[in-house]
């Protein structure tokens, strides 16, 4: 009897410890309103939002040129992202009504695909422009690290599109 009570108590303690560990876990930045994600975003904003500044041995001139390239990219991509958000909202409207218009929904899906393609091309062009500024050592680092930024964001074309 004592063994069963002891076992139940230990199980409860382990479960509670597990929950405590989960609540302290690192939260990925994909959860926008979570405090740890907000800290991550604030850190990125302090760095100008450009993780490329971690490239080893960047000169001040290279940093300025990279910031200019990234700013131009952001300015050109933002209208496309806004259009994608509008299309996604329109698609939600089309797909949740009583009478779903399949052809209209497919046309909106095609539009979203075209916008994603445009965004990815712009980001690829930006990547190549940054690469041209770097020396051989910096290029090796950039090639092994920078494509991480072209992951989910590039596939969706914007932050959090598939949430």
Query: Please, which pLDDT band fits residue 121 given cuts at 50, 70 and 90?
Result: very high
First to last CA, the chain: 49
Indicate the DSSP class of residue 54: G
> What is the secondary structure of 4-31 as a DSSP string?
HHHHHHHHHHHHHHHHHHHHTSPPPTTS
Q: Is residue 51 part of a domain?
A: no
Residue 41 tokens read as: 């975003």
Domain CATH for 74: 1.20.120
Flag whether 160 is in a domain: yes
**Shared domain check, 126 and 72:** yes
Q: Do 99 and 35 share a structural domain?
A: no
Is residue 133 within 8 Å of residue 65, measured between CB atoms?
yes
What proportion of the chain, given as a percentage, has pLDDT over 70? Answer: 56
What confidence score (pLDDT) does residue 145 get? 80
Report the pLDDT value the prediction gives residue 97, as an integer from 0 to 100. 80
Q: Per-residue pLDDT for 4 more than 50?
A: yes
Asked if residue 39 and residue 78 are part of one domain, the reply reads no
Does the structure show a pLDDT above 90 at 106? yes
SS (H, E, C) 107-121: HHHHHHHHHHHHHHH
Are 32 and 76 in a shared domain?
no
Mean pLDDT in residue range 12-38: 57
Distance, in Å, from the CA atom of 14 to the CA atom of 48, rounded to the nearest integer, reads 43
Q: Answer whether residue 117 is part of any domain.
A: yes
Q: Are residues 27 and 64 in the same domain?
A: no
Overall pTM > 0.75:
no
Encoded tokens for 2: 């004592």
Residue 36 contacts residue 23 (beta carbons within 8 Å): no
Q: Domains in the chain: how many in total? A: 2
Task: Say how many C-beta atoms besides its own lie within 10 A of residue 99's C-beta.
Answer: 5
Whether 23 is in a domain gets the answer yes
User: Domain range holding 79?
Assistant: 57-163
Statement to judge: residues 90 and 137 lie in one domain: yes
Block residue for tokens 């050592």:
137
pLDDT for 54: 81
Burial call 139-159: b when 16+ CB within 10 Å, e when fewer: beebeeebeeeeeebbebbbe
Same domain, 28 and 64: no
Q: Are 66 and 36 within one domain?
A: no
- The pLDDT tens digits for 45-102 are 555 555 566 888 999 999 999 999 999 999 999 999 999 999 999 999 999 888 888 9
Are 65 and 12 members of one domain? no
Please tell me whether residues 130 and 156 are part of one structural domain: yes
């Amino acid at each position: 009897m004592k063994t069963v009570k002891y076992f139940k108590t230990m199980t409860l303690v382990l479960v509670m410890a597990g929950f405590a560990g989960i609540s302290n876990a690192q939260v990925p930045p994909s959860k926008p309103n979570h405090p740890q994600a907000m800290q991550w975003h604030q850190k990125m904003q302090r760095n100008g939002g450009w993780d490329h500044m971690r490239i080893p041995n960047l000169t001040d001139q290279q940093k300025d040129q990279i910031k200019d390239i990234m700013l131009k990219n952001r300015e050109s991509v933002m209208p496309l992202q806004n259009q994608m958000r509008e299309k996604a909202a329109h698609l939600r409207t089309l797909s949740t009504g009583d009478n779903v218009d399949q052809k209209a929904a497919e046309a909106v899906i095609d539009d979203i695909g075209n916008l994603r393609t445009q965004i990815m091309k712009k980001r690829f062009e930006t990547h190549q422009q940054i690469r041209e500024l770097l020396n051989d050592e910096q290029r090796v680092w950039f090639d092994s690290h920078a494509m991480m930024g072209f992951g989910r964001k590039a596939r969706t074309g914007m932050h959090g599109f598939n949430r």
